[in-house]
Structure formats: C-alpha cells, structure tokens
Structure 1
Amino acid sequence: MSCAVLAAGCITPGGLTLAETAASARARVARLQAIEWLDRRFEPFVVGRVPNDGLPELNPALDAQLRPSRESRMLQLAHAALADVLGELPPQVEPPPLLLALPEHHTAIAIEPARFLQRLALQTGPCFDLGSSIAAPRGRAAGLMAFKQALQRIEAGQSRFVLVGGVDSLVDLHLLGTFDREDRIRGETISDGFSPSEGAAFVLLGDAEMARTYGMPPLATVISAAIGQEPGHLYADEPYLGNGLASAVTGAIESGQLPTQISSVFCSFNGERYWAREFGVARIRNSAAFADDAAMEHPAECFGDLGAAHGVALAALAAHGISRGYRRAPALVYASSDYADRAAAILDRAA
C-alpha cells in the first residue's frame, strides 16, 4: 500500500511557502520573537508568529463573525498553505476530499471540526469536497494519522487524490496562560519547555498511475503509515512505558517493506525532554531498521511548535528534501500529540 506525494505546501514563522520554510530549517535559522504578552513572571513570551502581511484577507462574511479570534487566524493560515498546494492540481480534476488535523488544546470556545471545515470552504472557495472531508481535533499526530486513512481511500479506489492538512495557532493568550501555569513554555527559568507557534501545512496525495496520466511528477512516495496510542501521555496518570510511538514506528516499518535502512528521521521534538525519551524507546525497539548515521531533523528549533500543523509540516519538509536530494531516503516522519495519539509514516524517493 503506497501513494505519491504530488504537491506540498506550508506557511510557518520560517517562511510563507514550503520552499522558504525548508530553506530556513535547512540553515537552522531561528524565527522566534518576544511579543507584548507577558508570562506570570512578567517576562515576554517568546513565540513563532507568521507575519500578518503574509496572510490572505478573511472572507467578509467570516470577518463579521470571528474577528479577532484564534479560529479566524487559523482560517487565514490554512488558506495561505492550501494556495501553495492547489496550483499543482489539474483543472479537470474534481476537488479532492480533505483530511484535516485540528488542535487538541482548546480555549473557552472550542473549534468545532465540521463547522471549521464549512468555514474553510467559504474562505478558500470550492477547492476540496466538503461532503467527503473530515477534521479531527487530535493535535500534532492527527495529520500523520490521516495519512493512513488517505492510503486506504486511494488503495480502495474511493479517491484518486486526497488532501491531508493541519492548522493551528498556539499564540493565543488563553493557551499561553495555560501552558505557562504548567511550566511548559521555554523561557529564562524554564529550559524543559517549548516555544508556542502557529502555521498550516498540506500535502496532496494521489494514485501514482493517475498522477502520470495527468503529468504530475511526484515529490516522494509514502510507502506506509501507522498509528499508536500512548497510555502514559503527558496528561495521564498512567506510567510512561513508550508503547505508543514504538508501536506506530514498528507498524510503519513492518508494513513498508523498506528498501534500505531508515536514513532520515523527521520528528516532532519541541524542546521538552519527554519527547526525546519517547523516541529513544521507539529507536531501541526498532534498532535494526535504522542506519547508524541516520540524520535527525527537528525543525521546531527554528519555527517553534506548530501544534496540529506539525505532523503534516514534517511530511512536507521531508518530501521537499527527498525530491531535491538534500535529505536521504527512506525517511521516517512521526509526530506525537500531547494526549495519547501517535503516528508515523515512511517516505521514499518517487518511483
């Protein structure tokens, strides 16, 4: 079971397009800044923010309902990233379904998945099939979890093309205050913490044969995807054993029939120690599948934690690097949510 990555796009504090973000991440250029909001120690939060002038205007009908709000910001971010992808879709192809990752952390007003999809369709125009689209509020891992469903839809012939995306903004006063009280935000006195950020990322997956018919050269091939559940997650009372990510990585490796050992790893490390310990368990349990010199890529050091956009952004960066030859393949791409969800996918060079 495999499919082709036909297009990818993202918008992050590191760049307004995938190419810009990839260049920033490759050069290890940090795009974090202090903002006017202060933490409980009266120090400014340091976050990743997308410049306002890099975003499209909000649809007037939505502007009246939502501005200013986290949801309006997310709609603009998603619109910008989608525009980076949909130019590759031939005009004669019907709008594909969208599988969208949404935040697992909510403010006082939760983002309702079905309503967000409806608003996104209004914001962007009819670029995806709303009736067959799904949004899941499950954080970083949700986008890569959707890879597995996309592969199944494509293999079953339900869709020739599937959009997979993620969008989030953690730069929200309520969320920043919540994470600050939990001592999770990196700062002068917190080293075991992360830098909140925002962004959106999308990839267009498709049947390789159909892509050739339309003359769409793939960036990479997704050869497998798998999911796992971690009972000992950050907010659980259960002890951490590392089973969730380890099972997702094992599942991706066993179903992928790897041509060679994994040469690159794109991970959702964000600066918190928990995530390095988690990957250590997965790596040890699957040590034979990794090359000794496998490179570790954790671009959150450049643009911060993208929340629900993180998993798809990693996949987009992996596909970009593989297609241009500066990242080795096969590449393991994985993401872990703050709660139980874990997901992994393996990308290889285009066939």
Structure 2
Amino acid sequence: MTRGLEILSVGMVTPVGLTAPTTAAAIRAGISRVRETPFVDLRFQPHPGAFVDTACLPELHQVDSRLGFREARMLRLAAPALREAARHLEEPPILLLAMPEELRPEEVAPTRFLEALSRSADVPLDLSRSRCVAQGRAAGLVALAEAFQLIQMHRATDILVGGVDTFMVPELLATLELEARLRGAGPSDGFIPGEGACFLWLGATGRGRRSRIQPVATIEGVGTGHEPGHRYSQEPYRGEGLAESFLSLFASRPVSAPRVQSVYTGLNGESFWAKEWGVACLRSRDHFSDDLRTHHPVENIGDPGAALGPVMLGLAAIGLQRGYLPGPCLVWCSSDREERGAALLCAQEGETRGDR
C-alpha cells in the first residue's frame, strides 16, 4: 500500500449532472436517469439505459476523422469534465486516462485520442508522458496506482487521473445482449448501460497548501490485483483478484487504524461480482466497521464502464469534504477481465465543511 495523495479538484459529467457538485448532489438526492432508450433489443423492446442528453454536450470541432462514433462520444463527455478538473492547473500535467477494455491500442491510437481531448477541452497536457489505460472498470484505480508511483518517486508534481466510457453504441449493446448481460424488463441478472467521464487532479501531501488550494480529500492508498478466473476466462472463479487488492491496500495499515465506515462498490447489477466482494470483505473483515455503509451509484447513472472508478473516487471525495459520508471510505472496481483495484479515502483533517 502506497500513501498520501491529495485530490485537489474533481471534474465530472454523468447522466444526472454536468459537473462534479451537481452529480454528487443528484445522486445523494436519489435522482436516477435510467430511461427507455432509442435502442431496441432482439424482441424490438427499448433497452433501458442512462445516457447524457446529447444537447447538453459540447460540439466537436477539428476532430480527427479517423475516430469512430464511440470515441467521438467519449470526447464530448470528457472535454467539459477535464476542463472542470484542470481549471486551476498552471502547467501541462500528465494525464492517465481509463478507457474501455474494447478500445485496445490496435483499435484506437491512444496518442491521437489524447491529442483530440486536449484540443477539445482547451487544456494543455504533457502528451509525451500521458497514456491511456484500456482496462475497463478497474482502469481508473490501475491508473491511480501508477500516479502514486510517479508522484512518490518525484517524477511528477501534478497528475490528472480520469476515466471516460459510453455504452451508447448499438453494436456493443447487441453483443452484450447476446451474452445475456443487459437488464431487461422485470427482474434480471444484468446491468443498465450508462456513460460518463470524471477527472481528478492529484498532488502529493502538502501540494494544496503550497498552491493555496483546499484539497477535496486525501487518498491514503491504493491496491491492485488480478483475477485468473475472470468473466471471460476458463479458470475457476474464486474471487482472488479483489481480495488481493484489499490485502495490498491494507497491508501496511495497522489494525488499530480507524475502520472503513463507507464503501463505494463496483457492483453493477450483475450477480457475478457479489462473490468476489464477499470473499474480499471476509478476508479483510478486521478493517471494516460493523456499521458499514455501502453505496451503488450505478443505480442512478447506469454502468459507466471505465469511468466508474474515477466517478466513485470523486463522489467519495465530495461526500467526505461535505461531511455527509463517514470515513474512511473504500472504493473498489472489477473489470470484465483480470484487473481489480481498491482505494482508501479520508477527509482532510479539520477541514470538513459540514453536512449540506
């Protein structure tokens, strides 16, 4: 477990809010944007989904024509969120961007996408050191682990960790339906497709004070793991990867430290993920409060794919800052394939604003 990053700002675009504060307030109020969509299933019934109103997203100008529909949609989601998170940055930062597993390097050139994002958001980036992490839901936490290393090795002062994804792609929805993974009418073991983008400006402990910026929250540490028996593997599914992430996260944390009070979970409506959550929780039970509160933002915004990790980090940070979320707070995510990740957040000592 590595320690000590400050979240200095958060930018977010989701189906329930076009900024981080409005998203957090809407989810806290129980607002949901799950609706029938224009996309139909194999029975010609509308797919339920949670998508941002296209009219609320910025138009793209001078974008590389080689980017496909999904990447263009992701640019429109990501640009305003990146602009919100980077508004006080003075120098071009490194960006570690979580992206969907389907967007492997051979399918979309990461550098091309990052260049287009920088132009669309009008935010200069250190493109020579920025990269895309195409590892799905856990990618944001994998990127966070890399950010810890870069900052603690003094190879970077400021880093943006973000994620963007959308399921608003007919071909992708059709594939997921054939795999029986989408929520249908009535009870079903499936998820509601969503979309979103979130970015977090991270710095070492004390960075906010030196810049006269009040940090939103502190990330105490991050742990990652790999699940051999993931959804598309032939290996037995034992839930080892998430348990490994938890054990790595808590390895250097004394048992006498405050126990985890809240959890933002990567559960998305599919029962598949419940097993590894149970295994991981049991193996690290000494670190959890008996009165544990769990939060599932996918109930409000659908499953935003690779954006889920950064979105939950942002929501947890805002909740800790505002005082309505008891901490420490655990955030965990699992990808469809082997990647798993977990992070622990706490409020800035003496800086909680109070419940509002």
Task: Quote the residue 1:82 is aligned against.
Answer: 82
Native 8 Å contact 1:183 1:190 kept in 2: no
Distance of 1:51 and 1:308 partners within structure 2: 20
Aligned to 1:29: 31
CA distance in 2, matches of 1:198, 1:143: 15
**Matching residue within 315, 318, 323 for 1:317:** 315
Contact in 2 for aligned 1:6/1:218 (Cα 8 Å): yes
Aligned residue in 1 for 2:221: 224
Question: What residue number does 1:72 align with?
Answer: 72
Greater percentage in helix? 1
- For residues 315 and 340 of structure 1, what CA distance do their matches in structure 2 show? 21
- For 2:20, the aligned partner's letter is L
1:210 CA displacement: 2.7
What's the offset of the Cα at 1:211? 1.9
Structural RMSD (CA): 1.7
Q: Tell me if 1:178 matches 2:178.
A: no
Question: 8 Å contact 1:223–1:256 — kept in the other structure?
Answer: no
- 2:287 maps to 289
2:4 pairs with 2, 5, 18, which one?
2
Q: CA deviation at 1:113?
A: 2.1
The gaps in structure 2 that reach 5 residues or longer are 350-356
Q: Give the Cα–Cα distance (whole angstroms) in 2 for the partners of residues 317 and 201 of structure 1.
A: 10
1:62 maps to 63
TM-score by length of 1: 0.94
2:88 is paired with a residue whose SS is coil
Q: CA deviation at 1:63?
A: 6.7
Q: Is the 8 A contact 1:118 1:130 kept in 2?
A: yes
Q: 1:212 aligns to what?
A: 209
Counterparts of 1:1-351 in structure 2, within 5 Å, are 1-59=3-61, 61-62=62-63, 64-66=65-67, 69-89=69-89, 93-106=90-103, 110-188=107-185, 191-257=188-254, 259-351=257-349
Deviation, structure 1 residue 190:
5.9
Q: Look up the match of 2:352.
A: none
Q: Is the contact made by 1:224 and 1:256 (CA closer than 8 Å) also made in structure 2?
A: no
**What is the CA deviation profile of residues 288-319 of structure 1, one whole-angstrom value per residue up to 9, with x for unaligned ones?**
10001110011001110000100000000000
8 Å CA contact retained: 2:64, 2:116:
no
CA shift for structure 1 position 257? 4.7
Identical aligned residues as a percent = 42
Q: Secondary structure at the match of 1:255?
A: coil
Deviations along 1:5-63, one digit per CA (max 9) or x if unpaired, are 1111211111111112112211222211111221012110111111112212202x217
Q: State the shift of 1:136 in Å.
A: 1.3
Amino acid at match of 1:77: L
Superposed displacement of residue 250, structure 1: 1.3
Q: TM-score, length-normalised on structure 2? A: 0.93
User: Structure 1 pair 6/54, CA: closer, same or farther in 2 (3 Å)?
Assistant: same
Q: Separation in 2 of the partners of 1:106 and 1:194?
A: 20
